[in-house]
Amino acid sequence: MRYLQQLQHTSAAVRRVSLADKLHNARSLLASLHQEGTITWNRFNGGREGILWYYQSLNQIYQNTGSDYLSQEFDRTLTAIASFN
């Protein structure tokens, strides 16, 4: 994906804004999973596999460019999403 490629070469400030946005999205997704169950995946064109691939790709970029509270929280949230059944 173009966004993922661009994100690898942006400034740290741009990556932090991206991380904050994606963390918010991931937390919202996790909340929906808890409230509505796995039917939540039907909202996404890529379904569970596509979303997990995308978030895992983002997570690699965020983890490779530094470890701070936001990147750790994104990783924890992603782990919770991936383990949700």
**Residue-level pLDDT at 55:** 97
Which one, of 31, 57, 35, lies nearest residue 46 by Cα? 57
Q: Is the pTM of this model over 0.85?
A: yes
**Residue-level pLDDT at 85:** 78
pLDDT tens digits, 17-73: 999 999 999 999 999 999 999 999 999 999 999 999 999 999 999 999 887 999 999
Q: Which residue has the higher pLDDT, 67 or 4?
A: 4
- Cβ atoms of 30 and 81 within 8 Å: the answer is yes
> In sequence order, what DSSP letters do the residues of 6-29 get, joined into one string?
HHHTS-HHHHHHHHHHHHHHHHHH
